[in-house]
Structure 1
């Protein structure tokens, strides 16, 4: 079993990762809103971005809060190539 200090370090690593990844997702929303204000995107296109953001943020949250914090911290340290934006993309309809 790991020490209390190890778990605290793991929680901090996961929290830092979560915040950085969330900031990247928010940047996409900001770019879409700016595009709407500039007339490059319409309201429906921005709505799609907001929907994808919501789904991506939920997937990120689930990853960061799933099970053992030390396992998640290890995955974060190993920098698994997880594209949260893509994970929030709508599924193709059949």
Structure 2
């Protein structure tokens, strides 16, 4: 059984991770919109990036939106990924099944 302080620390770690990873996903959208504004991308390409963002953000939310002991397990997993240098690529996870092997559309 964990202490209240341990549960709160786990909740803070998962919330910080969620915010940081969401920021990474938003950067993809920002770059796509910037490229649209300069004429390097068309509206359909930006739309595809937005859809990928949505899928990735939904998976990230599912990973982070836990409570109790699940939250603590998620915090331990986040720490282990950081220690091992093996993070989850949420952007790639949000790729449509048809495009998973394709190059990043906003690169």
Fold shared by both chains (TM-score > 0.5): yes
SS of 1:50's equivalent in the other structure is helix
- Over aligned residue pairs, what C-alpha RMSD do you find? 1.3
Secondary structure of 1:52's aligned partner: helix
**1:87 and 2:89 equivalent?**
no
Q: Which aligned pairs between 1:10-89 and structure 2 lie closer than 5 A? A: 10-66=10-66, 68-79=70-81, 80-89=86-95
Distance 2:12 2:50 in 1: 28
Shift >2 Å, 4+ stretches: none
Q: How many aligned residue pairs are there?
A: 93
Higher deviation after alignment, 20-29 or 76-85? 76-85
Structure 2 spans left out of the alignment, 5+ residues: 100-107
What residue is the counterpart of 2:105 in the other structure? none
Gaps of 5+ in 1: none
1:5 pairs with 2:11? no
Query: For 2:42 and 2:66, how far apart are their aligned partners in 1?
Result: 36
Q: Counterpart of 2:40 in 1: which secondary structure?
A: coil
Distance (whole Å) between structure 2 residues aligned to residue 24 and residue 17 of structure 1: 11
TM-score, normalising length from structure 1? 0.94
